[in-house]
Structures are given as C-alpha cells and as structure tokens.
Amino acid sequence: MPEAASLPVDDPRPPRKLYRSSDGRWLGGVARGLAGHLGLPVIWVRLAFVGLFMAHGFGALLYAAFWFFVPLGVGGVGDQKPPSLVATETAPDGRRRLVARRPDRGQIVALLLMVIVSMVFVGSVNLSSAAKAYLLPAVLVAAGVALVWRQADNARRARWVEVGRRRRTLTLLRAAGGVLLVTAGVSAIFVMQGSAAHLGAVLQAALAVLVGITLLAGPYLVRMTQDLSEERLMRIRAQERAEVAAHVHDSVLHTLTLIQRNADNANEVRRLARAQERDLRTWLYKPEGTGKDEADEPDTVAEAVRRNAAEVEDKHGVPIEVVIVGDCPLDERTGAQMQAAREAMVNAAKYGGEGGAVQVYAEVEGRTVFVSVRDRGPGFDLDSIPADRMGVRESIIGRMERNGGTARLRSVPGGGTEVELEMERAEKTS
C-alpha cells in the first residue's frame, strides 16, 4: 500500500468541502478525498469500498457516483499542504512551475489487486449462465467509462498544472481506448441479445444520430472551448501580474522600512535604495527569456556583467552604472574575462569610489568581447604597486593573458583609472 495512514489534516476553514484527491489516487481519488474529509485513514475507506463491492457490487456504484459528482481537488490525507486550487509552486521569478508528481508504484499494485479481487468475486458469485454472459461486456463498459472519466479528471487537472505536450498522445490514446472499450461492450450486449442481425442497422442509426448531434452542437462546443481557454489564459496572466506586483510592493515596503531605520547612515540608505531600484528595474524591464532564478549561474556575457556589477555594488556601496551592447553565451575564455572584470570593479569601487559612480561598459562585436571598467578616483601607478599586492597583476592582467586576452590599465585624461579587457570568443556559436 503506497501511503501510510497519517493524521487527518486539521483544516480550520469552515465549511469544509469534499474533494476528490488528485494526487496519490488509484482510480478516481474518491477514497483519498473521503478519507481526508472524514479524517479517517485512507485504507479504511478503501476497505469499506471493497467490502461494499462484495455486496452485490454496491460499492462500485457508490464509488462511481462519488466519482461523478464530487469535484476533483487537491488534498486528501497525507497532504501537509492545505488544499489549494493550484498544485504548483510559485518560483521566485513569478512563474509557476509544475510540481513533479512521482509515479506511484503502489497504484499499479492496487489496480492489479482490484482486478484479482473482482475475478475472485465473479468466480464466487453464482450467477445464472445467462447473466454470466453479460458480465464480460458489462466489465468492458465499466472499464471504458472509468478510463474516459479518469481522462476528464486529467483534463481538469491540466487546468492547474501545465502538462507537457508529449503527454498529449497518451491522453488521446486513453480516451480512444475508453471509447473503444465501451463500444465493444455495448455491441457485445447487443449481439448476445440475439439481435446480431440488427446490429448493422442499429449501428448505422446510432452513427447518424451522432453525426447529427455533432453538426448541431459542434460549433457551439468548439466556440465554448475556445472562449474557455482564452479566459483561462487571461486569468493566468492576471494572476502572474498580481504575483509580480505583490512581490515588488512587498520588497519596496521592506526597503522603505529599512531606510527609515537607517536614516542617519547615508551609505546604507544609498545602498538600500540602489539595490531596490535595481531589483525593480529587473522586474520591469527584464529582457526576454530571462526568467531565471537568482541562484542560477549566469550563462551569457550580459548577465554575468550585470550580476557582478550588482554584487560589487551591494558589497562596496559604490554605484556602478552598466551599459551593455550585444550579447553572447559565456565560454571558458569569456568566463575568465568576467572574473577579471569583477576584480576590476572591486578595485574601482574600493580605490576610486569617492569620485562617484563606476562606469562599466561591455560590448560584444563579432568574436570580440570588450569590457571597460572606469572610475574617477585618484588613479594609481601600476609600477608603484608593491609586488606582494597580487590583485591587479595576477587576477586581472595575469588571468587575461593566460586565457589569450589582453588587459590594459591606464589613467584617463580627466582623472581616474580605466581597465580595458579584450578577449576573443572561443567559438563562433551564433
């Protein structure tokens, strides 16, 4: 059995609604949902259903009724999360991600067990041979209906959880299988009633009716589904926007509180304001395709430069203005260049920060990646750096040269220091 019985989730919100559980279910999630609702171990509920099933199949009917009428929800037993309508987690970047659902081997075992129990049950019940003959078609129909219903559940789940495209074929297969089973079962019943001769005619008539209904209701249905999906899209968008806004407002309020607390510490206030401003800009003007987490390693030059500048700015409290032209993916060489650039930013912030903002410019043109870091501090003489100060010599010049690039340090007309780093990209990937 897959899940151990756990304590009922204490859900204080009245009135409690009964939902079928969409995770950890075997068939329709009825038992789990009920168990969660009643606060009973799920195994009891399942056993009760099996027991009722023995009583002339009453359990099956009951189960089917529940399945049909009770809406699918999230929760049930063993769920530590309160039942929410969204089975996704919100990533920090405001995009909702699918929570991976582990395939449950227990479910398969349980289904097999159920089949065996049904076999035993069928074997043990003394039915008249006539009734027995109807059993197989009936089972076929039931299986088909179950398949299709389960499919409908999945369709409903897909509303909250984006299901990948590759599962679409499986979905269709399932639905088709269900329909096929039902058709086979019904036809078999017809055949056994001795109306095999009429079967063709009946099927034709049925087909005609189906076609007629499709023609009449089809357009309405299509339009309805289109409207629905459109509305759904709008709702998801609105929700995402709201999430973003909430996040932003929250962090702005937070920053304002901190600023009030540190009102007499000008540097801290400036640092906080800059960090918040940057954060907000990232939210507002995020270039396309950067829905990345803070934690992710940057994988393009522009991202790396921005990231480094942001970190140095936060750490040293000196504003860094960044201008970037073009972009390319990072490779080993440009990675080294980014580290050298970071070192240059740190130096600029440390020794040239009094002169105002540090200006960083990065440009990707063809195969050349160029970065300049410029401050307006007092400037310094490279030759006068003591030999034991390895910062500039090693981590900037040395690093660039080892990787086949060049680094130039110079005093700029008008004061300050500028570090220019130039590197050829390893491979032309574009």
Partner 1 sequence: MSDATEANGTAGAPEAAGSRAADGGAGGRHVRVVLVDDHRMFRTGVQAEIGQTAQTGVEVVGEAADVDQAVTVITATRPEVVLLDVHLPGGGGVEVLRRCAALMADTERPVRFLALSVSDAAEDVIGVIRGGARGYVTKTITGTDLVDSIFRVQEGDAVFSPRLAGFVLDAFASTDAPPVDEDLDRLTQREREVLRLIARGYAYKEIAKQLFISVKTVESHVSAVLRKLQLSNRHELTRWATARRLV
Residues that bind partner 1 (CB under 8 A): 281, 284-288, 321, 323-326, 355-357, 359, 361, 363, 365-366, 372, 374, 376, 412-415, 418
CB of 306 to partner 1, least distance (A): 12
Alpha-carbon distances, residue 207 vs 115, 177, 181, 183, 271 (angstroms): 33, 18, 17, 12, 74
CB of 70 to partner 1, least distance (A): 38
CB of 341 to partner 1, least distance (A): 13
CB of 67 to partner 1, least distance (A): 40
CB of 99 to partner 1, least distance (A): 25
Strand extents, DSSP E, 326-403? 358-365, 368-375
| Closest C-alpha among 113, 12, 29 to residue 68 | 29
Smaller CB separation from partner 1, 12 or 414: 414
Cβ–Cβ under 8 Å, residues 9 and 80: yes
Contacts for 54 with CB less than 8 Å, ≥ 6 apart: 121
Cα–Cα dist 385/398, whole Å: 15
Smaller CB separation from partner 1, 153 or 418: 418
Residues constituting the chain: 430
State whether residue 371 is helix, strand or coil: strand
Smaller CB separation from partner 1, 231 or 365: 365
CB of 326 to partner 1, least distance (A): 6
Smaller CB separation from partner 1, 44 or 361: 361
CB of 41 to partner 1, least distance (A): 48
Smaller CB separation from partner 1, 150 or 271: 271
Smaller CB separation from partner 1, 77 or 409: 409
Alpha-carbon distances, residue 162 vs 1, 21, 86, 117, 241 (angstroms): 28, 18, 11, 36, 18
Smaller CB separation from partner 1, 154 or 359: 359
Pairing mode, strands 358-365 and 320-325:
parallel
- Rounded to 5 degrees, φ, ψ at 343 are -60, -40
Q: How many CB atoms lie within 10 A of CB 270?
A: 15
